[in-house]
A and B are shown apart, each in its own frame.
Chain A
Amino acid sequence: GIQVEQSPPDLILQEGANSTLRCNFSDSVNNLQWFHQNPWGQLINLFYIPSGTKQNGRLSATTVATERYSLLYISSSQTTDSGVYFCAVEMDGGADGLTFGKGTHLIIQP
């Protein structure tokens, strides 16, 4: 099946810092989503981005499908950004379930 690798696995930053999270995938995809799992365990949708660039406030994401990677940018980090960020993909022509990476655990310190 498709492989999804996220980096870095852990990241500790001070409030106000910027960060870039990366997601590499091993095959063509027709769906790519970024999620934030908050400290209460909820999975919150950030972006649906199989290709191109999107922005939502302090967050933006870029997927380069031909090179099989996606980037999530977080600017001016706040403590509420802490949690685990997951990239998930659905393989082109495959089953319709998402394959998740192991996540990036982000801690924003005040």
Chain B
Amino acid sequence: GAGVSQSPRYKVTKRGQDVALRCDPISGHVSLYWYRQALGQGPEFLTYFNYEAQQDKSGLPNDRFSAERPEGSISTLTIQRTEQRDSAMYRCASSLGWRVPLDEQYFGPGTRLTVT
């Protein structure tokens, strides 16, 4: 079946602009996660949802970052007033969730964001 998909795959934006990154999880997956990966580093957790409810946003760097999943499926990560330090790979993952015995996370291809 289809895996996690993300769009756009690449985004170049000017400093100060807002960007919206989209994630479409694996069908039937309850939990959805957002991560940010700097060059040469491992992904860093940002936030996650069970269905439409945002469970933990402690990893969001500041209040310019927000995420939503209004119908419990597709999610959008929005960055307002982008800054050059926001340049990174943004990855989305999904899992069956709810503490099932095998709560394995599967990652999408990522969106490479470049802020100029």
Residues of A within 8 A of B (CB): 31, 33, 35, 41-43, 45, 48, 86, 88, 95-103
Q: Nearest chain B CB to A36's CB is how many angstroms away?
A: 11
* Proximity bits, B73-116, A CB within 8 Å = 1, else 0: 00000000000000001010100010000111111011010000
Q: Which residues of A contact B45 (CB under 8 A)?
A: 95, 97-99
Interface residues on B, range: 20 to 34
| B70 close to chain A: CB less than 8 A | no
Q: Which residues of B contact A97 (CB under 8 A)?
A: 33, 35, 45-48, 56, 59
| B17 close to chain A: CB less than 8 A | no
Also in contact, A33 and B56, with CB within 8 A (given A97-B35, A102-B42): no
Closest 4 CB pairs of A and B: A100-B42, A97-B45, A48-B104, A43-B107
